[in-house]
Structure 1
Amino acid sequence: MATSGSNTTFDLSPKALVGVGVGLVALGGASYLLYRHLTRDVMPQKWRRVGTVERIHFFPVKSCAPLQISQPGVGYDCDVLSMSFEGIRDRTLMVVNDKNEMITARVYPHMTQIQSKKISPSKLLFSVQELPDLELDFENLESSGKDVHTSVWGVPVDAMPCGDRINKWFSQAILNKESGLKLVHYPYPISVRSKNPRLKDMPFLRQEDSGTFNDATSFMLMNLSSVADLNKRLKNPVDVLQFRGNFELKMDVDEPYAEDNWQWLRIGEDAVFRSVAPCTRCIFPNINVKTAERDPDGEPLKTLRSYRLFNYSSPALGIHLGLRVPGKVKANDVVYVEDK
C-alpha cells in the first residue's frame, strides 16, 4: 500500500509497479520521477531488526521536562496526532507570553526543570523548586473559553487558555513574576497546523504529521550510537535527553548515523513510521537537563556544526517521523527498518 496524499490509497502489486515503471519511463523524465516517488513511498513488505527501544519520552508541556511515569513496561499509544499515555498527550500544552507568542527553553532554560506526573486520566501535577505543586485537570480548566491566536515557528494555530490560576503559577515558575505568561491547551483531535515551512522540500512529509505544538512532527527518534559518537568528540558528554527525542534506540550493532538512510521504521508489532526529515538542531541541546545551565562553550551544537551540517543551516541529529500505522509501543520493543 502506498499513499501520495492524506486521502488517496494505491494498491499496487510488484508486477504492476514494474509495468507502470516501463510505461512511465517512456513518457519522459518527469513521469519517471513520479514513478520513483510512488515506489519509494510504498510500505515495505520485509523488515530487518536493528535494535530495541531503550527509553520512551514525551513532554506534556512544550520545553518542559518529560512526563514522570513510575510503572515499568507501560505502553504508549501512537496515533497520527501524537503519543499518549492514559489520556495525557505529548506537547498538548504550551506557554505563551502576553502577546500570545510561543515561549520555549531556548530563551528560558529554567523551563526544563518544570516536572510533571500523572495523577489521574485527566490530571497532571506540576512541580518546580521554590513553588507549591500545581494540579491541572483537563476536564475542569478555569478558562474563559476564548481562543488564543498563537503560532509555532510562524505557523498559526489557535489554542485554549487554561485559566488564571495556572497562568500565575507558570509566570512565577518561569519569570518569577505574578503574571506575564499563559498556559494554553491544544483542543483538537487532529493536527490542524500547516507544515513547518523549513521542511517544505521534504517530499514525504504530510500536513497531519505536524502534530500538536511540536516544532516539526509528532515523533522523533534518537540513535544512541549516534549520541555516543558525538560524546566521544566532546570534552563534557551530553545527556541524550537534551535532544528531546521520543524514542531512544539501542542498536544491536553499533552503527552511528545509520538512521540517516532509513525510510521506514516499525516499532513493536504494529506501529509503522515514515522517516520524513532529519532533525536539524538549534541551541536547545546546549542546555543541561539536570541544571538548566547553558554550556559556556556552545556545546554540543558547536561540535555538531563541524561535521553534521550537510546542506542545512543547522546541524542534523535524529530523525523526524510521521506515523503511517497506529499502534502501541513500549520500552524494549524491537525496532525494525525496511529490508532492502
Structure 2
Amino acid sequence: MATIGSNTTFDLSPKTLVGVGVGLVAVGGASYLLYRHLTRDVMPQKWRRVGTVERIHFFPVKSCAPLEISKPGVEFECDVLSMSFEGIRDRTLMVVNDKNEMITARTYPHMTQIQSKKVSPSKLLFSAQDLPDLELDFESLEGPGKDVRTSIWGVPVNVMPCGDRINRWFSQAILKKENGLKLVHYPYPKPVRRTVPDLKDMPFLRQEDSGTFNDATSFMLMNLSSVADLNTRLKNPVDAAQFRGNFDLKMDVDEPYAEDNWQWIRIGEDAVFRTVAPCTRCILPNINVRTGERDSDGEPLKTLKSYRLFNKKSPAMGIHLGLRLPGKVKANDVVYVEDK
C-alpha cells in the first residue's frame, strides 16, 4: 500500500503496475524506464531455495578478526544499520591514525590477527600477540571525549573516541608503539553517511545501505561454489573468510557465480535483502586469515583480475546486499532467491 496525504491509500499491485506501464509506454521512453525501475524493485512474492548458510562472520572491529562465538545455533539480528549479536554490532569499531584517517589491514595485515570475544552483554575482550587482554565496555563509551571527524573512502562521518587506555593497546598491537592510533566507535542508531562514490551508479542502492563502518554496504554474501571455482585456478587455495563476507552460502547444486544474476535474497523466514552491487575487490583477500601474512604472488587478486573484472577496473567476488525487511538469521538457515 502507498499513502497520499494522511488518509488516502492506493494499491500498487503487479496488475496495476502493468497497466500503468502500458500507459507510460505511450507517453515516452523516459516514462517507460521509470516503470521498469518500479517493477524491478518490487519485492518478489515467490521464492526458490538455492542453499543454506554455512557460516556467518561478524566483525566487531573493521579489519580485525571475526568475533569468536562458541555456542551453536546463535541468532543474529539484521536491521537497517547492521547485524547485531546480543547488543554487539558488526563493524561499529574502527582504528584511525593521529590524523583521524581510517586504518585497515590493507596497510597493516596483522590487524586480522586481533581477536575478540564477548564476555557480557556490553563487553568485549580483545587479544593480540605479546599483549595482555583488553576489556572494552560499550556502556562506558558514552561521550568519553570530543567527536572525531573521519571518513570511509572519502565519505565523511563523525565518530566517538573510545579512550586513551584503549588507544594505547591498539597502538601497541598494530604499531608496536605507545601511541599513534585511536579506536573509535559508531554512535548513531541509524546509517548517517552517504554511500561510497564508486557505487553511485548502482540503481537500487539506498543511502541507508551504507551501514556503520562498512566499506560499501551493511551486508555481503559469498557463494562458496564461486570460491571453490576460484580455488581450482590457484596454486594455493584460499579460505572464503579472506573475502570477509557476512554470509557464506553453501549451494544445494554447485553453481559458481550464480549470485551475479540474483536480485533478491531471503535468509530464513524473515530477513529479505536486495542485491545492490557486485563486491569489487582490493588487496585485502590476499591476506591469509590464519597467519596474517600477505601472499607474495598477489593471489587470489591476481587470478581474479584475469577473469572477473567488473567495468574493466576491479575484479568482483561476492555481492553487496541492502536490507529490505529485518529479521533474525543463523547458520544452517535456508537461503532463497526470487523465483522468476
Alpha-carbon deviation of 1:144?
A: 3.6
Which string of whole-angstrom CA distances, capped at 9 and with x for unpartnered residues, describes residues 14-34 of structure 1? 221111111010011101100
**C-alpha separation between the residues in 2 aligned to 1:323 and 1:153?**
22
Which letter maps to 2:43? Answer: M
Alpha-carbon deviation of 1:310?
A: 3.3
* 2:334 match: 334
Task: Tell me, yes or no, if the aligned pair for 1:142 and 1:164 is still in contact at 8 Å.
Answer: no
Task: Tell me, yes or no, if the aligned pair for 1:279 and 1:316 is still in contact at 8 Å.
Answer: yes
Task: Tell me, yes or no, if the aligned pair for 1:24 and 1:32 is still in contact at 8 Å.
Answer: yes
**C-alpha separation between the residues in 2 aligned to 1:210 and 1:10?**
31
**C-alpha separation between the residues in 2 aligned to 1:270 and 1:130?**
44
Q: Provide structure 2 residue ranges, at least 5 long, that are not aligned to the other structure.
A: 3-8
**C-alpha separation between the residues in 1 aligned to 2:63 and 2:294?**
15
**C-alpha separation between the residues in 1 aligned to 2:310 and 2:153?**
22
* Aligned ranges 1:12-161 → 2 under 5 Å: 12-141=12-141, 144-161=144-161
Alpha-carbon deviation of 1:287?
A: 0.4
Which string of whole-angstrom CA distances, capped at 9 and with x for unpartnered residues, describes residues 65-119 of structure 1? 0000011011000000000000000000000000000000000001000000000
* 2:197 match: 197
Alpha-carbon deviation of 1:269?
A: 0.2
Percent identity for Structure 1 against Structure 2 = 87
Q: With structure 1 as the length reference, what TM-score do the two structures score?
A: 0.97
Alpha-carbon deviation of 1:142?
A: 8.4
**C-alpha separation between the residues in 1 aligned to 2:187 and 2:312?**
33
* 1:245 match: 245
**C-alpha separation between the residues in 2 aligned to 1:270 and 1:201?**
29
**C-alpha separation between the residues in 1 aligned to 2:272 and 2:58?**
18
The alignment status of 1:221 with 2:231, answered yes or no, reads no
Indicate the SS of the match to 1:294.
coil
**C-alpha separation between the residues in 2 aligned to 1:238 and 1:46?**
35
Change (3 A) 1:11 1:324: farther
The alignment status of 1:182 with 2:220, answered yes or no, reads no
Which string of whole-angstrom CA distances, capped at 9 and with x for unpartnered residues, describes residues 182-207 of structure 1? 00000000000001110000000000
The alignment status of 1:310 with 2:310, answered yes or no, reads yes
Alpha-carbon deviation of 1:312?
A: 4.2
Task: Tell me, yes or no, if the aligned pair for 1:50 and 1:252 is still in contact at 8 Å.
Answer: yes
Alpha-carbon deviation of 1:313?
A: 1.3
Task: Tell me, yes or no, if the aligned pair for 1:142 and 1:163 is still in contact at 8 Å.
Answer: no
Q: With structure 2 as the length reference, what TM-score do the two structures score?
A: 0.97
Which letter maps to 1:222? Answer: M
Task: Tell me, yes or no, if the aligned pair for 2:145 and 2:163 is still in contact at 8 Å.
Answer: no
Indicate the SS of the match to 1:20.
helix
Change (3 A) 1:44 1:10: farther
**C-alpha separation between the residues in 2 aligned to 1:106 and 1:18?**
48
**C-alpha separation between the residues in 1 aligned to 2:85 and 2:66?**
12
Which letter maps to 1:94? Answer: M
Q: Provide structure 1 residue ranges, at least 5 long, that are not aligned to the other structure.
A: 3-8
Alpha-carbon deviation of 1:10?
A: 7.9
Which letter maps to 1:189? Answer: P
**C-alpha separation between the residues in 2 aligned to 1:29 and 1:339?**
28
Task: Tell me, yes or no, if the aligned pair for 1:96 and 1:183 is still in contact at 8 Å.
Answer: yes
Indicate the SS of the match to 1:315.
strand
* 2:287 match: 287
Task: Tell me, yes or no, if the aligned pair for 1:226 and 1:255 is still in contact at 8 Å.
Answer: yes
* 2:6 match: none
Task: Tell me, yes or no, if the aligned pair for 2:273 and 2:321 is still in contact at 8 Å.
Answer: yes
Which letter maps to 2:70? Answer: S
Q: Number of matched residues? A: 335
**C-alpha separation between the residues in 2 aligned to 1:282 and 1:43?**
32
**C-alpha separation between the residues in 2 aligned to 1:10 and 1:76?**
35
**C-alpha separation between the residues in 2 aligned to 1:14 and 1:69?**
43
Task: Tell me, yes or no, if the aligned pair for 2:280 and 2:310 is still in contact at 8 Å.
Answer: no
**C-alpha separation between the residues in 2 aligned to 1:228 and 1:271?**
26
The alignment status of 1:278 with 2:278, answered yes or no, reads yes
Alpha-carbon deviation of 1:141?
A: 3.1
Alpha-carbon deviation of 1:36?
A: 0.4
Alpha-carbon deviation of 1:128?
A: 0.9
The alignment status of 1:164 with 2:164, answered yes or no, reads yes
**C-alpha separation between the residues in 2 aligned to 1:61 and 1:310?**
28
**C-alpha separation between the residues in 1 aligned to 2:312 and 2:262?**
19
* 1:297 match: 297
Change (3 A) 1:330 1:11: farther
Tell me which moved more, 320-329 or 144-153. Answer: 144-153
**C-alpha separation between the residues in 1 aligned to 2:168 and 2:76?**
31
Which letter maps to 1:80? Answer: V
